[in-house]
Each structure stands twice: as C-alpha cells, then as structure tokens.
Amino acid sequence: MCTCFCDEVTGLATGCSGAVIIHRTGVTTVPDISNTKLSLLMLGENEIQLFPHNYTKISWPNELTHVALQDNNIDYLPDKYFSGSNIQFL
C-alpha cells in the first residue's frame, strides 16, 4: 500500500519513507521514487515493461535496499539499470 502521495498520471511518488507496496494494480511503469527515502519497493504482479526506446534512467534513493519486480512483463533490463544504487536484494 502506498502511504505517500502517488500521482498515477505522472508516476511520481513524493513524501514517502519506509516501504511502498503496489501489487496487482496493473501499473505499467516503475514510479519515480527519486525524491523519497524508501528502503523497500515492492511492485510485483503488475504489468511493468521496459523498452530500449522509452527507457529513462532512474535515480534510486540512497536508502533503497530492497526491490521486488517479480511477475511483471519485464523481458528487457537496461544496462546499468540499478548501478549507483544501494540495492542489495532484487
């Protein structure tokens, strides 16, 4: 459950700390969490896809250590998608 402000139109999440869990909502993109203090981001069982032609580099929060993306439509993962992050568990 997202306990912060999550703009579904822009995909921007603000005011978050701790964890954001967005399961089975049909979300198609990874939300912009760059201005948060999240440590856990769970986006399992959605419709997330990444493509070379529409990929935008994400700035992961320094506090983020856990990301769950299981059961999405991810067939492509950009080179260095998680580089520069402190993610320990994917």
pLDDT for the residue 3: 52
Domain tally, the chain: 1
Coil, helix or strand at residue 41: strand
Q: Tokens 């954001």: give the residue.
A: 20
Residue 32 carries which DSSP code?
B
Q: What is the pTM of this model?
A: 0.78
**CB 29, CB 10: distance < 8 Å:** no
pLDDT tens-place string over residues 15-25: 566 888 888 99
Query: Which residue range(s) make up the domain with 61?
Result: 1-90
pLDDT tens-place string over residues 31-44: 888 888 889 999 99
Q: Is the pLDDT of residue 50 over 50?
A: yes
